Amino acid sequence: MKIAILTPTFSYYSGIDRVVELQAKNFSKKDEVTVFALEAGLKPENFKLVVLGMPKNPFFQRLYRLFFFLDFSKIKSAAEKLKDFDIVISHFYPMNLIASYAKKKYNAEYIYHNHGVGYSKLFNNPLERLYIWLFAFFNKLSLKNADSVVSISRFLQQELKKETGLDSKIVYDKIDKSRFKIGIDGKRIRKRLKIKENEKLLLFVGRLSPHKNVHNLLKMFEIISTINHNIKLIIIGRPTFKSYYNRLKKAANKNVIFKEFVDDKELPHYYAACDLYVTASLWEGFNLPIAEAQACGKKVVAFDVCSHPEVVIDGILVKKYDYKGFANAIIKLLK
């Protein structure tokens, strides 16, 4: 069987793309698999990769992805590459447009893998809110002729049904348990970052986007730092909006370490190096880093929102916006 898996960016930075990579590896054990992406940083293993191309500038990339339906020649030529495939799995807009066209033109089976789109109301900047709202709107339109839908959580299953009327089955995101596991050595990471033996280390992994609520995570860390002076926070993530990233850098104290890029092979060692995984995110379709941290034996503090009740199995869920309770949960688990 020939399977095509579509994702906008086949990249280290994206949790979706790590899911795509593992999915491609698993399918390739029995089937012929090709990943199609607009850009790619990950290298294929036992499957093919086709890069379709898009602008290099981050600003123009966002515009191009949003209004991808205007590049009909790209949609048509990409769909033509799918005419001999039995199944086309699309993981995110705008790749749904290619899958949808391949369904209409070549009768390929179109499966939409629903990762969801964050709530636009969580973005403070009006232009960012408009961008997210339009992204979600165009995404809904691209699902009309999907043969089936997979949602990565019960939360997203319910959201999709409410917003579009589409039914979906739940398939939780899988992690690579050969990489994320108990017993990994985190000492060299602590040494590299000059973390002392008596210092506690908190970790956050994820895109630096307003809905991840990292700005309030920094405020809570400031409170915790006044109680426990021997504590540091690592924030690993690529900025989605540069202005937001600059805001975070200004708000951070000297005990916050920003890492825009971490080699994917080293990521499990960062989980191993931390004492606690923390996320103040207010919207998540699944939250892969939580699952990865728990697989490495780390407890988690997160807000009781969206998919978190389904994903957090070892840690504390805190009532939404209870920032004092969140800080106290961190202090409690560190003790």
CA distances from 124 to 130, 131, 204, 305 (A): 10, 12, 21, 19
The reported pLDDT for the residue numbered 84 is 93
What are the structure tokens assigned to 186, written together? 């985190």
Whether the link from the prior residue into 44 is cis, omega within 30° of 0, is: no
* Cα–Cα distance measured from residue 307 to residue 25, given in angstroms and rounded to the nearest whole number: 25
The reported pLDDT for the residue numbered 125 is 85
Residues in the chain: 335
237 contacts: CB under 8 Å, gap ≥ 6:
13, 204, 205, 206, 207, 208, 212, 214, 259, 260
Contact 121, 142 (CB under 8 A): no
The reported pLDDT for the residue numbered 102 is 97
- Give DSSP secondary structure letters for 101-126: HHHHHH--EEEEEE-----GGG--SH
CA angle, 34 then 57 then 234, to 5°: 80
* Cα–Cα distance measured from residue 308 to residue 294, given in angstroms and rounded to the nearest whole number: 13
Q: Which domains does the chain carry?
A: 2-170 (3.40.50.2000), 187-334 (3.40.50.2000)
Per-residue pLDDT tens for 174-204?
999 999 999 999 999 999 999 998 999 999 9
Q: What mean pLDDT do residues 264-289 have?
A: 96
170 contacts: CB under 8 Å, gap ≥ 6:
150, 151, 152, 153, 154, 157
Per-residue pLDDT tens for 230-262?
999 999 998 888 889 999 999 999 999 999 889
Residue 233 DSSP symbol: E
18 contacts: CB under 8 Å, gap ≥ 6:
12, 176, 264, 288
Is the pLDDT confidence value at 21 over 90?
yes
CA distances from 161 to 154, 157, 245, 306 (A): 11, 6, 34, 15
The reported pLDDT for the residue numbered 12 is 80
Q: What mean pLDDT do residues 69-93 have?
A: 96
Spell 13-34 as b/e; 16+ CB within 10 A means b: bbbbbbbbbebbeebbeeeebb
* Cα–Cα distance measured from residue 216 to residue 212, given in angstroms and rounded to the nearest whole number: 9
Is the pLDDT confidence value at 229 over 90?
no
Confidence bin at 287 (pLDDT 50/70/90): very high
The reported pLDDT for the residue numbered 13 is 79
Q: What mean pLDDT do residues 132-150 have?
A: 95
Is the pLDDT confidence value at 142 over 90?
yes
Per-residue pLDDT tens for 29-68?
999 999 999 999 888 989 999 999 999 998 899 999 999 9
